[in-house]
Amino acid sequence: MLPVPASTQMRDTMSENLTSSNSTGMLNVYADFPISRFFTPYIGAGVGYVRHQVKGLSYSVATECVDPLNCDGSTQTQSRLITNSAGGIDYALATAVMAGFSYAITENGKIDVGYRWLNLQGTTYTGRSLSNVHNLSIPAQNLHELRVGLRYDIN
């Protein structure tokens, strides 16, 4: 086997993978403004929490030779997987504002059409892989939702 020339150039490619999920718990208050027997607009506001969970954070590094003609078999491609301990569970503030209307289609049944703006505050995790410290930030999120549903009044 020929020795690898000293001028051999290597290239590192790094990729990151993680799994994250958010779940919320909210306390909402609504005010109805009945205009007629059939049509009722409403507004609402809510406050609660968001549970951020991060798991499965890992780094993958692949090293490859830039000029394959100047590499021997042992230096052409190398890969290694580095698992990071960053992650966990954190809680932050969640707020919401709602507006919409309901329209009666039967004596007790109504169609509900509404908009909700939901703000989820972010968080930061700190973890370690090998000798490196990594900070992972989840920024605040603003969600805009158009919601359609059915209501049934129990009297």
Block means of pLDDT (10 residues each) for the chain, 155 residues, are: 53 69 94 94 97 75 65 56 65 96 94 97 71 72 96 86
Instruction: Measure the CA–CA gap between 135 and 83, rounded to whole angstroms.
Output: 14
For residue 152, the model assigns a pLDDT of 92
User: Residue 106's pLDDT is what?
Assistant: 93
120 closest CA partner among 35, 22, 33: 22
Residue 4 per-residue DSSP state: P
User: Rounded CA gap, 97 and 12, in Å?
Assistant: 47
Are residues 82 and 58 in contact, defined by beta-carbon separation less than 8 angstroms? yes
User: Residue 137: what pLDDT?
Assistant: 78
Q: What is the pLDDT of residue 139?
A: 87
Structure tokens at 115: 């908009």
Cα Rg of the chain, angstroms? 27
